[in-house]
Amino acid sequence: MAGTSPIYRGNLHSIGQVGSLVRIPQGLVDLVATVNKVSITESVTDSEMTAAQIDDERGLRVELIGQIDRGTEQFQRGVGSYPGLNDPVHFTTSSDLKSIFPLSDGERFRAGCLSVDEDIPVTLNAEQLVVQHAAIVGSTGSGKTSAVSSLLQNFVKEGWNASNIIVIDPHGEYATALEDIASVLSVFADGDAQLRVPYWALPAEEILEIFVGGQPNKTFQNRFEELITEARGDFAKEAEWLDIDPTAVSSETPIPFDIRSIWHKIDAENRETRQVTDDPETACQTDPGDAGDLEPAQYEPYGPAGQPPNKGPKYNHYGNSPEHLRLGLLDPQLRFFQRPLGDPTGEDPLVEVTKGWLGGEKPISVLDFSGVPNQTADIAIGVVLDLLFELALRSDADGRGIGRPSPVLVVLEEAHRYLSDSADGLTRDAANRIAREGRKYGVGLLAVTQRPKELPATALAQCGTLISLRLTNSEDQGTIKAALPDTVTGIADVLPSLRTHEAIISGEAVELPVRAFLDKPNPWPEAEDPSLEPWRSNPEAPDVEDVLTSWRDIYQ
């Protein structure tokens, strides 16, 4: 055929596009193959190169992927026969493609349309996408955030209204796109919209990493763990909703305690002076301070040359660590760690917290960690992932709970931050545990990243479905090529030339690997590049007064 875009039955057909499909008739079936390479061969007919004659021959390299039964017009993966030499190869028509790509139904939902034929929808198997894990990869600007928003919007639109989808949003991009179908919890919101990750759900070491940072004084750390263990045990004795042996409580048991009281006690020990060093009754306290308001106790200065008051037995043993802890507790960016506190006579506060993480009655929950220091946000995300997996692990398949009785899908933006070796220990372990074991317990993972090269090979290998948008980095391209099936690695050659919102979809959730345009979200997420149109307006000094006021308000 002379052209590569013939008109057939009123439709324009592209021939020879990498990722497109061709049909090879074989009796009662038509073999279907995907194009993974286009080439021109040059053959020189005169070996002496005298009056060289060059013949150009265009060719396609294809991989057989299935067959269409002409009688039933049903598509089947795999082939029962192979084509012979000189068998004709046909382009696929719309009717052929409709036999191959199923429509949305009770098991599938729409993701987009074929790149070569916008009238043919591309659908994904919901169960395979959720339970078998998936990954969306693409360079910055390729449309990753829009792709996630569109998929989640279509997912709910197709009828999965009781889903448990949790979007980990480190940059605050998804609220506008999903607010109509999602519960949005933000670190700096007020009331029921505030994201809460109680500090007492963490081990003592992680609590110090959040509020103190760096490497705290070792003596201080040991004393902190000792007092936490004691405080958790005391709460366990009083709590009417807890059924646990107080002697089995450790500094890592997720039981509420008052961290401010512990700070006040340690800080007082660090400041205390006494008339008689060994007699606590002779403490020279001038002001008891207030633990709740984070006001330290005050003491008379110790006397010079051994004169009373004397230094207390633990005077300055903890260095600056108590003051660093106080400043951390005062930091408004860390306020979301301090709620809820827990009441021995009330109900288990973790029940309401986890209900909030799961979105309540909404099918999607967006956990917005924007504005929080990366290290702190990573720890909080690790707590969320770890607790959700533990709940799924302990939920019976025929009972209530999450996981096997009701699967959970975790959408992990910036997945390389949490899965790589450089991630915080708690977060890395929790995220990789979901990647390795989540499918057994009904916890699915949708990893979203612009750097697939930085994902652990084990985590990427666990993803049953791969949605690859444009990738410009050669290392990232190599990682995705290695993850694709051998039969379609040729398609990966087009990764750097894919258009925005165009992707190669392969794996368990699709009938066969396909090059597709993903649907655009409505409404859009806040991930698009800003416009330069304001630069064309009349020059004037930027007004940042309201912005500064809003920024200062978070410190009140």
Is residue 58's pLDDT more than 80? no
pLDDT at 318: 95
Is residue 548's pLDDT more than 90? no
Question: Is residue 93 within 8 Å of 8, Cβ to Cβ?
Answer: yes
Q: Which residue has the higher pLDDT, 355 or 493?
A: 355
pLDDT at 11: 67
What digits encode the pLDDT tens for the residues 243-268?
A: 899 889 999 999 999 999 999 999 99
Q: Would you state the torsion angle of the CA atoms of residues 38, 43, 49, 51, taken in this order, to the nearest 10 degrees?
A: -90
Percentage of the chain exceeding pLDDT 90: 61
Is residue 39's pLDDT more than 90? no
What digits encode the pLDDT tens for the residues 40-49?
A: 765 445 454 4
Per-residue DSSP letter, 102: P
Question: Is residue 367 within 8 Å of 185, Cβ to Cβ?
Answer: yes
pLDDT class for 374, splitting at 50, 70, 90?
confident
What the block records as the tokens of 47 is: 């070996």
pLDDT at 49: 43
pLDDT at 274: 95
User: Average of pLDDT values for 522-532?
Assistant: 84
pLDDT class for 366, splitting at 50, 70, 90?
very high
Percentage of the chain exceeding pLDDT 70: 92
Is residue 3's pLDDT more than 80? no
Q: Helix axis angle, 349-357 relative to 374-393, nearest 10°?
A: 100
pLDDT class for 9, splitting at 50, 70, 90?
low
- Tell me what the pLDDT averaged over the chain comes to: 89
What digits encode the pLDDT tens for the residues 59-90?
A: 888 888 889 998 888 888 889 889 988 899 98
What digits encode the pLDDT tens for the residues 176-210?
A: 999 999 999 999 888 889 999 999 999 898 899 88
pLDDT class for 52, splitting at 50, 70, 90?
very low
Q: How far is it, in rounded angstroms, from Cα 427 to Cα 417? A: 9
Question: Is residue 285 within 8 Å of 269, Cβ to Cβ?
Answer: no
pLDDT at 304: 86
Burial class (CB in 10 A: 0-12, 13-18, 19+), 333: middle
What digits encode the pLDDT tens for the residues 137-178?
A: 999 999 999 999 999 999 999 999 999 999 999 999 999 999
What digits encode the pLDDT tens for the residues 396-421?
A: 988 889 999 999 999 999 999 999 88
Q: Helix axis angle, 218-238 relative to 321-330, nearest 10°?
A: 50
Q: Tabulate helix, strand, coil % of the chain (nearest 5).
A: 35, 20, 45
Q: Which residue has the higher pLDDT, 66 or 424?
A: 66
User: Average of pLDDT values for 507-525?
Assistant: 92
Is residue 8's pLDDT more than 70? no
pLDDT at 53: 45
Q: Which residue has the higher pLDDT, 70 or 11?
A: 70
| Strand 29-44 relative to strand 54-69, pairing | antiparallel
pLDDT at 2: 46
pLDDT class for 328, splitting at 50, 70, 90?
very high
Amino acid at 313: P
Domain boundaries, the chain: 7-100, 121-198+339-525, 204-330
Q: Which residue has the higher pLDDT, 547 or 416?
A: 416
pLDDT at 18: 75
What is 121-198+339-525's CATH number? 3.40.50.300
pLDDT at 311: 93
Phi, psi of 59 (to 5 degrees): -140, 155
**Mapping DSSP to helix (H, G, I), strand (E, B) and coil, where does residue 408 land?**
strand
What digits encode the pLDDT tens for the residues 211-254?
A: 998 778 899 999 999 999 999 999 999 998 998 998 899 999 99
Q: How far is it, in rounded angstroms, from Cα 212 to Cα 277? A: 29
pLDDT at 555: 55
